[in-house]
């Protein structure tokens, strides 16, 4: 080996690299990142749970289960009547109005019904309201309602004809 070759080999010899150490700074970043991901996921789960889940809230589920056959029979009778209905939530400025229309099989408006609506949040209790709808014109029942929160609301309508024939309707509304 010549001197030139030995000098070139010596220049190629690598110098020892600086060893990377796991310091307290690295540990702090790792812990903060870990808990940041966990907290972020929890916030996402809470958001989706409160804003998208419609909920399963029933006060008398056991009694309703016992009366299930009567509920099915009442639904069959209502279907045989072939009545047409609509339940709408209409904005009037800052206020909301709930409007219900009921027609018979010949598209004639039905009048003289006692109409009540129970409306509430599917996932939050404490905002439930029971309204009696007044007949504003033949077959048109309305009431002004205050819905303090945005989001989904569930309405359960119950109407009884002058001769005692019941009518039930369930509907969900999304308030923006």
C-alpha to C-alpha distance for 161 and 159, rounded to whole angstroms:
7
DSSP code string of 138-154: TTEEEEEE---S-EEEE
- Domain residue limits, the chain: 24-53, 61-175
Question: Looking at residue 127, what is its pLDDT?
Answer: 86
* Average pLDDT of adjacent 10-residue blocks, the chain of 176 residues: 58 68 93 97 91 67 85 88 91 86 91 94 84 92 90 92 91 90
Check: CB of residue 121 under 8 Å from CB of residue 164. no
Predicted TM-score (pTM) of the model is 0.61
Look at the chain and count its residues.
176
Mean pLDDT of the chain: 86
> CA–CA distance from 81 to each of 113, 156, 158 (Å)?
15, 19, 16
The CATH number given to 61-175 is: 2.60.40.10
């Amino acid at each position: 080996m010549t001197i030139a070759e030995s000098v070139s080999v010596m220049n190629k010899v690598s110098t020892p690299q600086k060893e990377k150490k796991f310091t307290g700074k690295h540990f702090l970043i790792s812990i903060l990142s870990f808990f940041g991901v966990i907290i972020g996921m929890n916030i996402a789960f809470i958001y989706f749970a409160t804003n998208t889940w419609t909920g399963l809230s029933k006060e008398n589920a056991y009694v309703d289960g016992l009366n299930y056959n009567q509920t099915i029979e009442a639904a069959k009778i209502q279907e045989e009547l072939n009545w047409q209905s609509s339940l709408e939530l209409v904005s009037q400025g800052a206020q909301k109005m709930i409007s219900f229309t009921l027609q018979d099989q010949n598209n004639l408006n039905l009048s003289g019904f006692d109409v009540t609506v129970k409306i509430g949040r599917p996932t939050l209790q404490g905002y439930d309201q029971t309204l009696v709808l007044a007949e504003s014109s033949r077959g048109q029942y309305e009431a002004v309602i205050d819905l303090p929160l945005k989001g989904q609301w569930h309405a359960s309508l119950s109407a009884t004809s002058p001769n005692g024939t019941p009518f039930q309707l369930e509907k969900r509304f999304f308030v923006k």
